[in-house]
Every structure is written in structure tokens, then in C-alpha cells.
Amino acid sequence: MQTLMLSTEEIDKAAQIIREGGLVAMPTETVYGLAADAYNGKAVANIFRAKGRPMDNPLIVHIADISQIYGLVREFPEKARILADKFWPGPLTMILPKSERIPDEVSAGLDTVAVRCPSDPYARKLISLSSPLAAPSANLSGSPSPTTAHHVFSDMNGRIDAIIDGGECDVGVESTVITLAVQPPRLLRPGGITLEQLRGAIGEVVLDDAVLNPLKSGERAASPGMKYKHYAPQAELTLLKGSEESFLKFVNGMKDGKTAVLCYDEDIPRLELPFIPLGRAMDHDVQASRLFSALREADDKGFKRVYAHCPHTDGVGLAVYNRMIRAAGFKVIELDDKTS
Ligand code: TXA
Ligand code: MG
């Protein structure tokens, strides 16, 4: 299959591909999504094939307007309405009881559906010209999510019908996922809308254990995506916890030509080995927007080992931490641990 690269002027062509049951990668404000008509189970099944995604990992349905939600869900509770008013369009996904119309391929057999209203104008236009779109991130399953059309092309060329090149994504990590199908609501995946913002809007929100920790053996994931290895580069990523001094001492001892550092801007003058900057230490938004392309860059440059600071967990930092700890397979070295 030849994968077409489309400009943002050619969205009507992309919409036609969707209407005919094809697959189109679209920009969103978070990461690129691999879209199919959410009401076409056969087209949705092809998304799983193209990504190599396990069939038990459900997809998010993207809508352009709140009125489209009524075809998708059985209930739209008051708290969901408040969150939609406050944060849609934007990087927030809500899990709600699903309507009969949702094909099993979308919800992977669950009784719920994940819904999001993206703010990206090109995603919104594509939805308006076609239908609600089921779309996971447009990467091969397991690898870092794509934040440019070029990332999508390198994973998906020959596997999908088209890619809309809408430039670089703004947020850079996937949407916040909250389930309102349980009481109290539960944060399943942190993202651009923070836990603090959610609590400010609707009160109690529980932080699911799997956001910060690996699943215990035999434990069932509230969000099936959390049980799979994720976001991982080819290089072996390790996070380092400790003071700035011990961080620099540790990484500067690793000069072997095959090792790089994902660093903060403040580290740069004192680093003695190759580095990829993620932004300033406290600038979580910039770190989020650069993280996935930094992981891909480390692979493109052929590094075998990558070290990074263990991120702070406040605000959008929680999303950066959640992605990095998974990309590292939960490998963290405590540099200042006096007991070892
Ligand atoms: O920002 C985003 O959310 C991007 C863009 C393209 O919109 N999409 C995205 O999709 O990240 P994906 O498939 O890579 O991640 C969706 C996550 C998975 O962890 C999945 O298990 C979870 O949401 N999910 C989807 N439906 C669910 C449901 N009904 N119940 C629990 N978790 C669900
Ligand atoms: Mg994904």
C-alpha cells in the first residue's frame, strides 16, 4: 500500500478515505492519531493490524462537537458535563458507559467507551467532514508516540492510506484519561489537563495506582493500555534520582561513545558526553512537548544507553514522569541512597 502524505489543504481527500473505510493519520494537539470511522468495525480492526496493537486494548473516539457524544454514550453524568464545559475542546479523554452503536472493536469488549474532543483545527475538520473517529496514537505498538508527521511516516509507511501533515504537536504527550464510569472518578493516565485542574473542577479524583507504579502480578489494569510496555526507545533508558551534583558525577563517568543524556538545560555547561535537552528543570510543559522526539532522536543517533533525570510529579510533570518511567521499564537508580 502506498501511503499518501497530505497537506492540511487536502482534508477533504482524507475525509473521503475515512468514509470509504480507510485509515488516516491526523495531527491532534497531543500526538498524531491513527483514525478510522468509529462506527465501522471493520475499518477499526485494521487500526489494530497496522499498529500491531493487542485487540484487548480499547481506542478513544474523537468528536468535533459535544452534540456527537449522544450517539456514543448511554449516560452523560453531571461531572462529565462540567469537565466537558471546562476542558473541551482539549487534551482530556473521558470514559463513560457506551451506547449500543459502538462496535466491539472500539471498546475491546468493555461496557465503556473513551471519548475526547480535540482542539486541533485539522482533526476537527476531518471529523466534521466524516464521522466520529476512533484513533489511538499513530505509532507502532510499544514505540514512542509520534509528535510529527515524519515520526508517523517512519513507523507507518506502507501500512496506512494517508498522513495529514499538520506540523509539530503542541502538548506532546497523550491526553489525560479519567473514568467517570466509577465513583469517585479515577485518573487512569495523566496528560495536559492536570490532576490539580480536575480536582479543582469536580472535587475528589482518585489517582489510579498504575499511574506511578508497575502493575502487580495478576492485577487487572483499569485501563488495558497500562499493562503493556510503552513508549520505549531501542536504547536502554534509565532514570536517575538524586542531587544535581551526583547526577553530573554519575553521567560524566559514562563516556563510552554509546551513551547519551536526556538533560535539563541547566546541566548543559557541565556535561562531558552527548546530550539531548528536554528544557529547563521546572518547565514541565516544554519537557512534555519534547520527550517523545528526544527518545526517537536517541535511537536515530544510534545510542545504546540513555540516562535521564527522574522528573518531578507536580502539574504536567506527572505525565512526563508516567511516560518516562514506562519508557525506562521502571528502572530507576537512587544516586544518593545512603543505605546501599
Ligand atoms: O492524546 C491522545 O489521547 C491520543 C490522540 C491521538 O488523541 N490518543 C491516544 O490513544 O493516546 P491510545 O490508544 O494510544 O491510548 C488510549 C488509552 C489506552 O491506554 C487505552 O487502554 C485507554 O486509553 N482506554 C481506551 N478506552 C478505554 C476504556 N473504555 N476503559 C479504560 N481505558 C480505556
Ligand atoms: Mg498509544
Which residues neighbour ligand 2 (ion) by CB within 5 Å?
137
What are the extents of the domains in the chain? 4-211, 236-339
The pLDDT value recorded for residue 229 is 64
C-alpha to C-alpha distance for 165 and 125, rounded to whole angstroms: 14
Most informative mutation of 92, 117, 120, 177 for ligand 1 (most atoms within 8 A of CB): 177
Helix, strand or coil for residue 212? coil
User: Which pLDDT belongs to residue 265?
Assistant: 98
How many A from CA of 273 to the centre of ligand 2? 31
Mean pLDDT, range 39-46, rounded to an integer:
98
Residue 227: is its pLDDT beyond 70?
A: no
Distance between Cα 62 and ligand 1 center (Å): 11
**Residue 156: other Cβ atoms inside 10 A:** 21
- Point out the ligand 1 atom lying closest to the alpha carbon of residue 222: 31
Q: Which pTM was predicted?
A: 0.96
> Does residue 95 have its Cβ closer than 6 Å to ligand 1?
yes
**Separation between Cα atoms, residue 260 and residue 274, nearest integer Å:** 5
Question: Burial letters for 306-316: b for 16+ Cβ neighbours within 10 Å, e otherwise?
Answer: bbbbbbebebb
Q: What is the mean pLDDT of residues 125-144?
A: 96
Which tens digit of pLDDT belongs to each residue from 326-337? 999 999 999 997
* pLDDT tens-digit map of 157-183: 999 999 999 999 999 999 999 999 999
Which atom belonging to ligand 1 lies closest to the Cα atom of 57? 21
Confidence of residue 219 (pLDDT cuts 50, 70, 90): confident
Residue 221 has a pLDDT of 78
Residue 224 near ligand 1, beta carbon < 6 Å:
yes
Note the pLDDT of residue 216.
78
CATH 3.90.870.10 fits 4-211, yes or no: yes
Q: Residue 10 pLDDT more than 60?
A: yes
- Categorise residue 52: left if φ over 0, alpha if ψ from -120 to 50, beta otherwise: left
Among 179, 223, 229, 323, which is best to mutate for testing ligand 1, by the most ligand atoms less than 8 A from CB? 223
In residues, how long is the chain?
Answer: 340
pLDDT value, residue 152: 98
Q: In angstroms, what is the span from residue 58 Cα to ligand 1's centroid?
A: 7
* CATH architecture under which domain 236-339 falls: 3-Layer(aba) Sandwich (3.40)
pLDDT(270) > 70? yes
Find the mean pLDDT for residues 200-224. 88
Question: Which residue has its alpha carbon closest to ligand 1 atom 6?
Answer: 33
Q: What is the pLDDT of residues 98-125, one digit of tens each?
A: 999 999 999 999 999 999 999 999 999 9
Q: If pLDDT is split at 50, 70 and 90, which confidence band does 128 have? A: very high
Partners of 163 in beta bridges? 5, 25
Spatial neighbors of 71 by CB under 8 A, at least 6 apart, are 99, 101, 132
Radius of gyration of the chain (CA): 20
Determine the distance separating the centroid of ligand 2 and the alpha carbon of 85, expressed in angstroms: 26
229 CA distance to ligand 1 middle (Å): 14
For the Cβ of 121 lying below 6 angstroms from any atom of ligand 1, the answer is no
- The reply to whether 236-339 shares the fold of 4-211 is no
> Is there an atom of ligand 1 within 6 Å of 34 CB?
no
Positions of E strands within the chain: 4-6, 24-26, 33-37, 60-62, 92-97, 112-116, 133-134, 162-164, 176-179, 186-189, 206-207, 236-241, 259-263, 275-277, 305-309, 332-334
Q: CB–CB of 197/190 below 8 Å?
A: no
Burial category of 239 from C-beta neighbours within 10 Å (exposed 0-12, middle 13-18, buried 19 and up): buried
d(CA 172, CA 147): 6
93 lines ligand 1 (CB under 6 A): yes
Q: Is the CB of 177 under 6 A from ligand 1?
A: yes
User: With contact defined as beta carbons under 8 Å apart, do 65 and 117 qualify?
Assistant: yes
> What is the rounded average pLDDT of the residues 302-312?
97
- Ligand 1 near 58 CB (within 6 A): yes
| Rounded Cα distance, 111 and 114, in Å | 11
Atom of ligand 1 nearest to the CA of 116: 7
| Ligand 1 pocket, mutate which of 28, 55, 59 (most atoms under 8 A from CB) | 59
Q: Residue 340's pLDDT is what?
A: 53
Nearest ligand, CA 221: 1
Residue 42: burial class (beta carbons within 10 Å; 0-12, 13-18, 19+): exposed
